[in-house]
Chains A and B, each alone.
Chain A
Amino acid sequence: MSAKLKPSRGAPHARIMGVGGYRPVRVVPNEEILKHIDSSDEWIRSRSGIVTRHWAGEDETVAEMALAASGKAIADAGITAEQVDAVVISTVSHFMQTPSVATEIAHRLGAGKPAAFDISAACAGFGYGLTVGKGLVVEGSATHVLVVGVERLSDLTDKEDRSTAFLFGDGAGAVVLGPSEVPAMGPTVWGSEGDKAQVIAQTVPWDRFALGDVAELPVDSQGNVKFPALRQEGQTVFRWAVFEMAKVAQRALDAAGITADELDVFIPHQANMRIIDSMVKTLGLPAHVAVARDIETTGNTSAASIPLAMERMLETGQAKSGDTALVIGFGAGLVYAATVVTLP
């Protein structure tokens, strides 16, 4: 027979309590990118809106960046590390298969023995992490969840590919989720489109190197076998990101039961300024909505881009605590996640 089990008891709702970010020290201007590709500063700016990005130094590992952002988020939330009972880290650029980087972060934060695991959802990773974290808080498996997006995409950048060399940056962004008496995180509209897996992807899988079969691997201008990198079909990505994701963003507003007029802030994944501008136009967002344009000085940092932009908007006064924000991430998979949140 099935024994009668006690139900889980979670919080009535979840909210973002605090946010923190880490940007690597080294700022890389377009000029440096241009040493390896035949292009121009004007071309890069007009196609992407990117002027500078941060690239991590040797000591700025995925773990170190995640740790720095997490410490800030925990302090901003007004809790202690011991109160964190789940750590969810989204990354595609932590090159150690196992153990997860989340367990290292949990340990080094001094969080005791929280549940800790990594997730892989590329540029939608932050939204996926938020959704998982919110579920834990509301279901009762955790009271405070640390959700981090962290990337060292400079390691996955083909410096000689003129269509992507300028796009990517490094950094980490973190938030702490906790209990709330009122709804402060709307339903997530998310999904995947695996039929479009080839649209954004790593050039070759890691095990191709182990197999010793290097004959067909891509080589650089010096004849050296290239480390795997991210490649994408630009026009296809642009079309999907702008027009399909605008529909997803609208569905997230509808799911939260609000109209664009009630929105204060829009924080899309910082993929490309042209995507952001076109999405704002397609969505028909009112002029009062503050739009994140952190990409200009940060580049595309995948899972880290939304929390980094969120922190910067709060810091610079473009957004304030209590504002209603629409966040949407989208990327390799293809995957996407959009939700409306109250800013911490």
Chain B
Amino acid sequence: MAVSREEILEGLAEIVNEIAGIPNDEVTEEKSFTDDLDVDSLSMVEVVVAAEERFGVKIPDDDVKGLKTVGDAVGYITDHQS
């Protein structure tokens, strides 16, 4: 069953909090991972792997580069859910 955008955002916020220590409520769709959330390129890999496990999606390295904002990631996961 597909997970809603809200649930994906909530899940991503928990992941970003765990990896970068950013409070959950600051992780909103318009935020940039690198510029606003202190998630650098290596932490981004950790976020992606955690998101893959949590939402059952595959996010190849080539696609990771396109995920600039939290909204990009929410959209990607929404579109690629099995």
Give residues in A with beta carbon < 8 Å to B.
46-47, 233-236, 238-239, 242-243, 274, 278
Contact = CB atoms under 8 A, between A and B. Distances in A.
Q: Say whether chain B's binding surface is mostly helix, strand, loop, or mixed.
A: helix
Interface of B: 40-42, 44-46, 48-49, 61, 64
Contacts of B44: 235
B61 A235 contact: yes
B70 to A, nearest CB: 18
B45 A46 contact: no
B40 A46 contact: yes
A333 B54 CA distance: 30
Contact of A278 (B46, B48, B61): B46
27 contacts: A46-B40, A47-B40, A47-B41, A47-B42, A233-B61, A234-B41, A234-B42, A235-B41, A235-B42, A235-B44, A235-B45, A235-B61, A235-B64, A236-B61, A238-B42, A238-B45, A239-B45, A239-B48, A239-B49, A239-B61, A242-B45, A242-B46, A242-B49, A243-B49, A274-B42, A278-B42, A278-B46
Of A46, A234, A239, A242, most B-chain CB atoms within 10 Å: A239
B14 to A, nearest CB: 16
A274 B49 CA distance: 15
A191 to B, nearest CB: 21
A235 B67 CA distance: 13
A274 B45 CA distance: 11
Nearest to A275: B42
Contacts of B41: 47, 234-235
Contacts of A274: 42
Contacts of A243: 49
